[in-house]
Structure 1
Amino acid sequence: MKKSTMLAFTAAVLMSAASLTGHAASAPTYDDTLIVKNPVMTPQLGSVVLVPVASPQTVAAVHDYVKAWQNAEINIAKAKVKRDNHEQLTKADVKWLHSYDKHNYADYFRTHSIGRVHGQEVFMNWNGENRNKNEYEYFDMPKYNEQDGFTNSYGYNVLRSMVDQINAVIQEQKKIGGPMTDEESQALEDAILDIMAHEQEHVNNDELRHYMNDTIWFASKQTVKNKASEEPTVGDDHEVDLRAAIAKAPVNQPESRKVNLRDAISR
């Protein structure tokens, strides 16, 4: 190896070692406002919004979620009245009552929305409610202490705050009974979207806006999907009264045509 090349290689090794020695205490050297605790400058709403909150897809998903919840509450209430009056329950009635006993729209939404936040936390390498010092490649997040609390990443703080507020509204709706009227459904839908709009006021990061939309969209869609597997289908509402069907059957049925196999073979 030439002397000049050897000197260059040695210098590179020494510089690399020096960099690694002090990397744990240094701040990130790249522009990622979502991973650090607080951005250097608090993002303000920009004049150009590429990803709105809530997006049209999220608005539609929230609407479907609320209306599915309303439909379930109405049918469950009807089934309860029939049961309490000792009326005969249909197959659909039994399924509605069973779906009420298993899970509910509020708790499913909470599970999926918080789960989505933690999924983003892992995927984006965010620090979120971590009681231990979290060492990243070129910097670290200090561990939990009683004075300062958790050192969460900015992206985690925004996303979890929005989700917690929405779940508080949904859980309150669960306590007073799910939405039973169109007015109650619209009020719940508006409350969810108002929280999303309010949280957008101090976010001009389109990537974070995407995660905000994705979390609520996923929780809404997955909840409806889960509950659909527990609720009656269209076919469950169709029942056949066998006694009535037999009574209505034509009396004079023509005799079925019989075939003489021997004659048929001989021909």
Structure 2
Amino acid sequence: MKKSTMLAFTAALLMSAASITGHAASAPTYDDNLILPNPASAPGLSNVVLVPVASPQVVQSLHDYVKAWENAEQKIAIAKAKRDNHEQLTKADKKWLHSKDKHNYADYFRTHSLGRVHGFETALNWNGENRNKNEYEYFETPKYNEKDGFVNSYGYNVLRGMVDRVNEVVQKQKQVGGPMTDEEAQALEDAILDILAQEQEHVSNEELRHYMNETIWFAAKETVKNKASEEPTAADEHVVDLRKAINEPMGSNDYNKVDLRSAIQQ
């Protein structure tokens, strides 16, 4: 290595070490209120709301979620009635009946919403229900004890509290059989949006508002996607009337072709 290059490299190392030493010796400040158990600035109403209480994406994803759940419950009820009356079940009927064997709309939503909370907890280094002492660069969060319980980060407490309230409503809907009518679906949608509004009302941190919106949006979108893979497709539900297909008159230059194998298997 050339002498000039070696000197430059040595100088860079010395400057870096001096910078680190000076930084460590100075009194550090930490202004990330979301990671602290007691935010330096108390949460309050925000004068300027940069993130709406419920973003348009959240409203749409929740609507799609409750309507998909309502449609599934209605189709399952029809299939059950046919089965109980000893009627022949179609391929779609059988698939609807089996769609609730392992998973349902309420439990999927709970899994994805809690998973999102823990994802933010890990990514943002929050302390959340940790039974061991968490050591950060300039402070530490004590571990669980019977007197004080968990000492969680502010961001975790707010996000987990909202998700728990939403899941309580969703699980109650599951217990009564899910939304079976437009009115029940609308009531469920409104109840979730009300919780989101109530929880965000006293949160002045716009970053945290975004996480609250994103968590509900993600849980609703992922649940609909998961259930769509377990339910009949539009092709599965297409029913062919064999008598009509065979006897329906066609144009003079057309052939009345019927794929019986395909029609029977629909």
TM-score normalised by structure 1 residue count: 0.82
- Measure the CA separation in 2 of the matches of 1:150 and 1:19: 32
Shift of 1:239: 3.8
Q: Equivalent residue of 1:102, what SS?
A: coil
Distance 1:245 1:211, change over 3 A: same
The one-letter code matched in structure 2 to 1:32 is: D
The Cα of 1:19 is off from its aligned counterpart by: 4.5
Is the counterpart of residue 137 in structure 1 residue 118 in structure 2?
A: no
1:38 shift after superposition: 1.4
Query: What secondary structure, in the 3-state scheme, does the structure 1 residue paired with 2:101 have?
Result: helix
Classify 1:122/1:18 alpha carbon distance in 2 versus 1 (closer, same or farther; 3 Å): closer
The 5 A counterparts of 1:1-267 are 19=25, 29-240=29-240
Quote the offset at 1:138 in angstroms. Answer: 2.1
CA distance in 2, matches of 1:19, 1:141: 22
Percent identity over paired residues? 72
Q: Deviations over 1:97-153 (max 9, x none)?
A: 010222100000000000000000000010000011101122211111111111100
Superposition deviation, residue 247 in structure 1 = 7.4
Question: What is the CA–CA distance in structure 2 between the aligned matches of 1:88 and 1:173, rounded to whole Å?
Answer: 30
Counterpart Cα distance in 1 of 2:20 and 2:92: 75
Residue in 1 that maps onto 2:262: none
Change (3 A) 1:143 1:16: farther
Deviation at 1:50, TM superposition (A): 0.3
Q: Verify the 8 A CA contact 1:53 1:212 in the aligned structure 2.
A: no
| Cα deviation, residue 43, structure 1 | 1.6
| Distance in 2 (alpha carbons) for counterparts of 1:249 and 1:67 | 39
Pair 147,230 (structure 1): closer, same or farther in 2 beyond 3 Å: same
| Aligned residue-pair number | 240
- Taking the aligned partners of 1:87 and 1:135, their CA distance within structure 2 comes to 64
Query: How far apart are 1:15 and its partner, in Å?
Result: 5.7
Q: Separation in 2 of the partners of 1:14 and 1:240?
A: 75
Gaps of 5+ in 1: 21-25, 251-267
Structure 2 gaps, min length 5? 1-6, 251-266
Q: Summarize deviations over 1:49-101 as a string: whole Å, max 9, x none.
A: 00012111101101110000000000000000000000000111011001022
1:238 to partner: Cα distance? 2.0
Distance of aligned partners of 1:241 and 1:183 in 2 relative to their CA distance in 1, 3 Å threshold = closer
Structure 1 residues 37 and 14: alpha-carbon distance in aligned structure 2, compared to 1, 3 A threshold: closer
In structure 2, give the amino acid aligned to 1:181: T
Give the greater-gyration-radius structure (CA).
1
Q: Secondary structure at the match of 1:101?
A: coil
Amino acid in the other structure paired with 2:167:
N
Deviation at 1:207, TM superposition (A): 0.4
Q: 1:34·1:154 contact (CA, 8 Å) conserved in 2?
A: yes
